[in-house]
Chains A and B, each alone.
Chain A
Amino acid sequence: MSARRIYFVVSILVLAALPWLIATPYWRGILVLCAMNVLLALSLNLVIGYTGQLNLGQSAFFGIGAYVSTILVKSYGWNFWLAAVAAVGAAGLLGLALAAFAVRLRGHYLAIASLGFAVITYQVLVNWENVTQGVRGIYGIMPPFSHPAALFYLVAGIAVLVYVLIDNLVRSPVGDSLRAIREDEVSAASLGINRALWKAFAFCVGAAIAGLAGCFYPGFVGTLVPDAFNIVESFTMMAMVIVGGMGTMIGPVLGAIVLTFLPELLRGFGELRLMIYGIALTLVVLFMPGGMVQAWMALRARLR
């Protein structure tokens, strides 16, 4: 237990020092993005990793969070924090709507249903022009804090908080219920676990966290267009979870960090950048099927 504490304290210290170790606006910006991606990977991992529900629609909740918070601030003059609460609530509710499908569907059917859900959300963002401005986009959005280090502390702080909450959640009896559903739905039901309730719970919480991440995105970029929440974004989030290690706590965090920094570090390669990214992604899945976490454990076991 104390080793865990030490790890925790060390990571907090590293986080606190990071914006000052790499102090250029560009890398600070990437740090903010990375913290946002960690939140997203954590949210998706709760649904895929712990509850075993194949969800390809996470970008929808990210987008809902971004749009609801921005519209409330820009068009209705709400306070950012109040708008963020509303946005999280809206994303959570929408998560419940998707959960209604998850209760009936499994495996690839759910995957495609969630994909369809994300397509519809995207299309609504594009077509409901009176409210979302459609493809014209919303411009000049201010972040809650203008200093990039402050924004990083905020998003990273929230990511740490969410990490701790989920960590406690999955080690509680609730976590046992979720895992039971993942392993075998029928026997979970026979153990007296209410599948519908817990699936809905996982989807709702996962969606709310993604919505929360969405609140920080528009202020960070300054611009909000529907294209940012294309279904491709869902695949990227999924890749983060898988590359890191699905169903572990630290895995998605590592996956998010690697997949945020990798494309940026490859910028030097110009046109080859995305080719290398594609190869790397395939190879990681082929040779580290359990993600980085499992690969690391296997390596450690061999070294002993």
Chain B
Amino acid sequence: MKLALKGAILAFVCATFAVQAQEKVIRVGVLMPISGPGSYFGVMGKEGIDLALEQLKGGVNGYHLQVQYEDSACSPLQATNAVKRVLDQFRPHIVIGEECSDASLAIAPILEQAKVPQLNAGSVTMKLTESGYRYVFRIFPNAAQQSLPLAKVAYDRLGARTAVILYEKTNAGNDNADGFEKPFVAMGGKVLAKIDFGRDVNDFTAIATRIASLGRVDVLPTFALEGQQVRLAQALAQAKVVRGGGGNAVQMGSIWLPYGFDQKAGQAAEGYVRIVQFDPNEKRRIVQDFIRAFRAKYGADKVPTHINSHAYDTILLIAEAVRRGATDSESIRERFSGFKGVEVTTGRISFDPKGQNSDLSVVHFVETQKDLSWKGLDW
């Protein structure tokens, strides 16, 4: 009898625990641009996050990941409103976002004050991890990590001595352009011109004509989004500046360009050398599993972009922190700080004391071939 009672109590206790275990959640606020031109990022980011959540439906360490999206529209004002709202109403343990540098910088002090970690996957501006924030973590290579390898490869591997830097007039474009210019000039290269343009520019004929008049240009590091890059590459090919148009110059690009750009730009993209954050040709198992799952969910003809994959990675990293025993904001922050070589689809993640991922395995060099496929370069 006593035994039966004990058993009943034990069973009851277990059941209560089980219920509690089921109710344990890690709340993840996601700030993405869902309206306006920035929704380019938001739509793809959401695809990646939704896929990761689906795979983690069973929970991690007894915890469920619960996500709430807010539209931060790529703008500081909208992002501050959205982050305050999500903090008030959802009380997240961690916030993912934003993609745009301006918006990421605007929410950083607010999250710092609320002691909620910010996991950033898509901003390049140096300031984000150089301002002394304790709660900022970034898996995206910052401007220096993107531009320095580009400058080195341009000078050493491609033997380039002259460059024209093309960049969109934004925080990110500026930082990337500076990040290329300084080391390239220090090595002995010469920057013939720095040409910037607003995000609303469509017609690059005038710019291409000007570059054609500058004499011999070896490399054209270009920092802009996909849509403008397509037009720019085509204009440069028409001006016979780049290899794709029969010229000599090699166009170089940063992580901003997703897989699929080459098909859109067509022959103009041939010979384009760039770094990517996510290379779907990589043989690592996690990459191939991710691509398979992505196709199963979103369509057999789709190839995930780096935006899909780095958003997917943010959820994997949070799950990893939970697996290592994180239960709230503070412990997530601590687990993140201890990350060394955590494998995700973009590469391996190790956070330095500033919160920046310091593992450059996430930077992959590729060259666009004649058939517009990528050739991975082992640089």
Contacts and interface: CB of A to CB of B under 8 A. Distances in A.
B35 A274 contact: yes
Given A139-B105, A267-B71, A26 B171 contact: no
A26 B85 contact: yes
A33 B89 CA distance: 19
B81 A223 contact: no
A29 B105 contact: no
Contacts of A10: none
B35 A137 contact: no
A225 B79 CA distance: 13
Interface in B87-138: 87-89, 102, 105-106, 109-110, 127, 131
Interface in B166-201: 169-171, 174, 198
Contact of B80 (A24, A27, A29): A29
Contact of B76 (A33, A223, A274): A223
Contacts of B84: 25-26, 29
A136 B71 contact: no
Contacts of A273: 35, 71
Contacts of B169: 126, 134-135
Nearest to A271: B34
A223 B71 contact: no
B75 A26 contact: no
A137 B80 contact: no
A223 B106 contact: yes
A227 B106 contact: no
A221 B89 contact: no
B107 to A, nearest CB: 9
A29 B75 CA distance: 16
Given A137-B171, A228-B76, A271-B34, A24 B88 contact: yes
A221 B85 contact: no
A190 B70 CA distance: 57
Interface in B38-85: 69-71, 75-77, 80-82, 84-85
Contacts of A136: 171, 174
B81 A137 contact: no
Nearest to A28: B84
B88 A223 contact: no
A116 interface: no
B75 A227 contact: yes
Interface in A125-159: 126, 134-137, 139-140
A33 B84 CA distance: 13
A123 to B, nearest CB: 9
A264 interface: yes
Contacts of A267: 70-71, 82, 85
Contact of A25 (B34, B71, B77, B87): B87
B89 A225 contact: no
Nearest to B74: A227
B81 A26 contact: yes
A273 B71 CA distance: 10
B105 A270 contact: no
A222 interface: yes
Contacts of A288: none
Contact of B77 (A27, A135, A221): A221
Nearest to A25: B84
Contacts of A271: 34-35
Of the listed residues B34, B81, B109, the one surrounded by the most CB atoms of chain A closer than 10 A to its CB is B81
A270 B71 contact: yes
B205 to A, nearest CB: 21
A270 B69 contact: yes
A162 interface: no
A126 B201 CA distance: 15
Contacts of A24: 88-89
Of the listed residues B75, B131, B198, the one surrounded by the most CB atoms of chain A closer than 10 A to its CB is B75
Contacts of B102: 137, 223, 225, 227
A74 to B, nearest CB: 15
Contacts of A134: 169, 174
A136 B127 CA distance: 10
10 closest A-B pairs (Cβ-Cβ)?
A26-B84, A223-B76, A223-B106, A26-B88, A24-B88, A26-B85, A25-B84, A274-B35, A225-B102, A29-B84
17 contacts: A25-B84, A25-B87, A26-B87, A29-B84, A30-B81, A33-B77, A33-B81, A126-B169, A126-B198, A137-B76, A137-B105, A222-B106, A222-B110, A270-B71, A271-B34, A271-B35, A273-B71
